[in-house]
Structure 1
Amino acid sequence: MAISVGDRLPDVQLAYMGAEGPEFVSLGEKLKGRRVVIFALPGAFTPTCSSAHLPSFIRTKAQFDAKGVDEIICISVNDIHVMKLWAEMSGADAAGITMLADPAAEYTKAVGMSFTAEAIGFIDRSVRYALFADDGVVKVINVEEARGVCELSGGETMLDDLEKVMA
C-alpha cells in the first residue's frame, strides 16, 4: 500500500557518493526532528525528471528555506555514480538539493511507490511524487497519476501546500 498522510517514513539506508567514496545514510536519522521535503522520480537524466521535476525544486529552494524546511531530498532508483553526475550537471549540488540513491529500490518499495515498465527498461522504479514530512511523519503527499508529467509533484505545488500545514 502506498504511503499516505499520517504515516511514518521507513528507516532505510540510502546512498550517496561522499568525498571518500560510497556512503550510506539512515533516512530515519536524517528526518528525526526535522522538516524535510522529499521528491522521488523514475530516473536521473530522464526527460521529465530533468526538464521539469528536479528544476522545479532547484528554482524554489530559497523559498523552501524561508519557510523553515530543513532539507530537500531527491530520491531515485539509480546508483550513486549516476546520482552524483546528475547532481553536478543539473545544478542540484550548487542549489543545495540532497541527491540520494535507492539502488535496490528498498525505500521505493517500502513506501509502496514502485512500478515496472519493462519495455523501456524501468524495473522497480519510483512513481513521481513529492512529500513533506515533519519528524518523519508525512504531512503532505502529492502523487502524479499519469506518467511523463510533473503537475502535482513540482516545487511550486509543494510550496502552496506548505502554506496550509505550516501556518
Structure 2
Amino acid sequence: MTIQPGQSVPAVPVKLVTPDGVSDVSSQDVLGKGRVLMFTVPGAFTPTCHLNHLPGYLEAADQFRQAGVDRIVCATANDHHVVKAWAEATGAGDRIDFIADGMAKLAVEMGLDRDLSAGGLGTRFGRNALLIEDGVVRIVNAESSPGEVTSSGAPAMLDALKAL
C-alpha cells in the first residue's frame, strides 16, 4: 500500500549521495527533519527521468527554497555509483541530494515501488513526488502513466506548496 498523508517515513538503510560523497544513512536521517521535497524516479539516466523529471526540479530549486523547502531529495533504485555519476553529470549535486536505494527496499517499504521486470529493470521506484514535514508525509503525488511527468513534476509541486 502506498504511503499516505499523515504517515511517517520508514527507517530503511540507504546511501545518501551529496557533493561531499556517499554515506550510509537511514531514510529517516534524510527525510525526517524539516520540510523535505522528495521526488522518486525509476532510474538515473533513463530518458524521462533525465530529460523531463530532474531538470524541472533543478530549475525550480530556488523557488522551492523560497516556498519553505529545506531539502530537495531525488530517490532512485540505482546503485550509488550510478547515482553519483548522474548527480555529477547533471550538475544537480549543489541543489539536490540523492538517495541511492539499490535494492529498492525504501521503494517497497513506502509502497512507491513498480515492477519493471518486463523491461529488464526489476523493482524500481515509480514516478512520484512527496512533501514530508519532520518525517510525516503531507502530500503524495503519483503518476498514473509511465513516461509522464505531470503530478510529480516541479510545477505541480510548486502549486501544491502554494495551496498549503
TM-score, normalized by length of structure 2?
0.93
**Partner of 1:91 in structure 2?**
91
* 3-state DSSP of counterpart to 1:122: coil
Where does 1:134-145 land on structure 2 (aligned, <5 Å)? 134-145=133-144
* 3-state DSSP of counterpart to 1:15: strand
Structure 2 unmatched ranges of 5 or more: none
Runs of 4+ aligned structure 1 residues displaced above 6 Å come to 18-21
CA separation in 2, counterparts of 1:153 and 1:27?
A: 20
CA separation in 1, counterparts of 2:48 and 2:103?
A: 22
* 3-state DSSP of counterpart to 1:139: strand
Q: Over residues 110-129 of structure 1, what are the superposed CA-to-partner deviations in whole Å (9 max), with x where a residue is unaligned?
A: 01111212232121111100
Structure 1 unmatched ranges of 5 or more: none
**Kept after mapping to 2: 8 A contact 1:16/1:84:** no
Report the CA distance between 1:26 and its aligned residue. Answer: 1.7
Report the CA distance between 1:11 and its aligned residue. Answer: 1.3
**Kept after mapping to 2: 8 A contact 1:132/1:140:** yes
Q: Over residues 12-66 of structure 1, what are the superposed CA-to-partner deviations in whole Å (9 max), with x where a residue is unaligned?
A: 1210357897421222133334100000010000010011110110000000111
Q: Which amino acid aligns with 2:49?
A: C
**Partner of 2:64 in structure 1?**
64
**Partner of 1:157 in structure 2?**
156
**Partner of 1:27 in structure 2?**
27
CA separation in 2, counterparts of 1:157 and 1:21?
A: 30
Q: How many matched pairs?
A: 164
* 3-state DSSP of counterpart to 2:122: strand
Identity across aligned pairs (percent)? Answer: 39
CA separation in 2, counterparts of 1:18 and 1:75?
A: 12
Aligned CA-pair RMSD: 1.7
**Partner of 2:47 in structure 1?**
47
CA separation in 2, counterparts of 1:55 and 1:110?
A: 27
Rate the CA distance shift 1:53–1:140 in 2: closer, same or farther, 3 A: same
